[in-house]
Structure 1
């Protein structure tokens, strides 16, 4: 049995709704002769004349009358399947989103994101994961819905990105630290003992290294895996932490922050997701919420 031509369903609906070859042709933006040929093919497919001449017009056969409503409903169902889904009811959405974020992002932006989402979609939950590396496999295989971080040139084309905000590096020390008094020169900054953030554990793999000026070589007294740990150590010692300003705003409360003695390169913090979620209404909504929170 041959596969049915669904284009004929469009033609059938137009002809049976209009009851006229000329009007159906105008509706589908076809010529009357093309519509007449389409009617001939439909008659052969259905095995019924469908529309027959009566005086100067056409009247439907009993078969056509029986097909009119089912054909129209079926066409509407097909169109609903093929059009974008804009029917999402956020108040009834029950879904858990997994977000993989760099250290400090949840502490700084998580509360505002959760409060905003709770007002619109009380059934939505978040699962926040730490981001130990730049591997995009969790996005590709669906373990992670959304990720935040600095986009690198090596990022594959299978990942979508959108910038959330610009950030820059600053220095942070405890209140009463020697660097809280007087101007901070490059020499004073270099001479201090530093806590360095490195996911790999190696000093030359520090996450801020690509953005630091070449003249600001630090002496690393200790290495930690994230900005939160770095600030915790700096808060209770004479260590100096170099961290992103916006990314760590809430974590630095009560501490002394200062501009680096030499300007560091600014960078963009972005959200990343897999293309299969581009058109998902709930995921589009989530991306919009995160943009608003970070704006």
Structure 2
């Protein structure tokens, strides 16, 4: 099929080339031979009257024209997939669909085990690919590289629909033999202590964002990429970790830690599930979003 003399099949090749910036990797991604992908690039260069990708040392770099095409081309393909490839109905018991979710290890350890149990009962053939959140995970959602994004409300994209999944409170976690575990944990003691913090892909801890609004400053002595690791990293020290309470309660089952209420103001975290606007009526994702809510209810009733 052609549009304005452009073979629309070439858009798939263009998207792969702009994403991978490599003829061999783009060919592998689209299940084409390298010669076929090279031929596609030549035709694209002729149509756009631009090199699109140029060799710089051992790498291929996109031209400014290619950069301007990257998001619009991906948007077209996501729209086509949502409109054409999505099945009109979803039968869980008969499905072998793969769902790709961008989540933190907090979500992986708390909600996902319950989701898996419920999903296996209803749809044993359904597959899941849980991927870590990196810097700007919204970009992966917008590019159709993930089906759902589970993320705090403050980090959601304003361009796509979302709904609240759960609320979470923060607490202080201490080694049970720490001097901070005895007596009242006052704001002064909290601020004076060293802290174990989590810095996700964007490099900023969520609770820091809240605290700075209240003028509270912490001294971070240890930083990690994992929310679950915080409880482990306070053991044997006099440091404090500010953790999600659900996760802290899980860690308390097997670690010598004490949980205290926070002596500083930190609002509840609203955890949202978000999806691409083109996939709002996707029957499979509607089923999965409902199942996520059921998983939260089961998780909290178990506790």
TM-score normalized by the length of structure 2: 0.63
Residue 270 of structure 1 deviates from its aligned partner by 0.5
Distance 1:186 1:232 in 2: 23
Q: Per-residue displacement from partner, 1:237-278 (whole Å, max 9, x unpaired)?
A: 332111222355424434311111123122311001112221
Q: Which moved more, 1:247-256 or 1:159-168?
A: 247-256
Question: Is residue 108–residue 249 contact of structure 1 (8 Å, CA) maintained in 2?
Answer: no
Distance 1:126 1:154 in 2: 22
Is residue 216 of structure 2 the alignment partner of residue 216 of structure 1?
yes
Question: Is residue 167–residue 244 contact of structure 1 (8 Å, CA) maintained in 2?
Answer: yes
3-state DSSP class of the match of 1:136? helix
For 1:84-103, what aligned pairs fall within 5 Å after superposition?
Answer: 87-103=89-105
3-state DSSP class of the match of 1:164? strand
Distance 1:243 1:209 in 2: 12
3-state DSSP class of the match of 2:105? coil
Is residue 192 of structure 2 the alignment partner of residue 195 of structure 1?
no
Question: Is residue 92–residue 122 contact of structure 2 (8 Å, CA) maintained in 1?
Answer: yes
Rg larger for: 1
Question: Is residue 108–residue 248 contact of structure 1 (8 Å, CA) maintained in 2?
Answer: no
Is residue 137 of structure 2 the alignment partner of residue 175 of structure 1?
no
3-state DSSP class of the match of 1:104? helix
Question: Is residue 201–residue 223 contact of structure 1 (8 Å, CA) maintained in 2?
Answer: no
Residue 163 of structure 1 deviates from its aligned partner by 0.5
Question: Is residue 98–residue 144 contact of structure 1 (8 Å, CA) maintained in 2?
Answer: yes
Q: Give the structure 2 partner of residue 166 of structure 1.
A: 167
For 1:122-133, what aligned pairs fall within 5 Å after superposition?
Answer: 122-133=124-135
Gap change, CA 1:200 and 1:270, over 3 Å in 2 = closer
Question: Is residue 161–residue 274 contact of structure 2 (8 Å, CA) maintained in 1?
Answer: yes
Distance 2:210 2:164 in 1: 17
Q: Give the structure 1 partner of residue 245 of structure 2.
A: 245
3-state DSSP class of the match of 1:143? coil
Gap change, CA 1:207 and 1:226, over 3 Å in 2 = farther
Question: Is residue 173–residue 179 contact of structure 1 (8 Å, CA) maintained in 2?
Answer: yes
Q: Which of 269, 272, 284 pairs up with 1:270?
A: 272
Aligned residues: 211
Question: Is residue 98–residue 126 contact of structure 1 (8 Å, CA) maintained in 2?
Answer: yes
Is residue 110 of structure 2 the alignment partner of residue 108 of structure 1?
yes
Question: Is residue 105–residue 247 contact of structure 1 (8 Å, CA) maintained in 2?
Answer: no
TM-score normalized by the length of structure 1: 0.65
Q: Which of 281, 284, 289 pairs up with 2:283?
A: 281
Residue 122 of structure 1 deviates from its aligned partner by 0.2
Question: Is residue 153–residue 272 contact of structure 2 (8 Å, CA) maintained in 1?
Answer: yes
Gap change, CA 1:234 and 1:114, over 3 Å in 2 = same
Q: Give the structure 2 partner of residue 11 of structure 1.
A: none
Question: Is residue 133–residue 201 contact of structure 2 (8 Å, CA) maintained in 1?
Answer: no
Q: Give the structure 1 partner of residue 25 of structure 2.
A: none
3-state DSSP class of the match of 2:100? strand
Q: Per-residue displacement from partner, 1:62-116 (whole Å, max 9, x unpaired)?
A: xxxxxxxxxxxxxxxxxxx9xx977532111101111111232101112111011
Where do 5+ consecutive residues of structure 1 fail to align? Answer: 1-80
Distance 1:194 1:183 in 2: 17
Where do 5+ consecutive residues of structure 2 fail to align? Answer: 1-82, 298-303
Residue 154 of structure 1 deviates from its aligned partner by 7.2
Q: Per-residue displacement from partner, 1:25-78 (whole Å, max 9, x unpaired)?
A: xxxxxxxxxxxxxxxxxxxxxxxxxxxxxxxxxxxxxxxxxxxxxxxxxxxxxx
Question: Is residue 197–residue 223 contact of structure 2 (8 Å, CA) maintained in 1?
Answer: yes
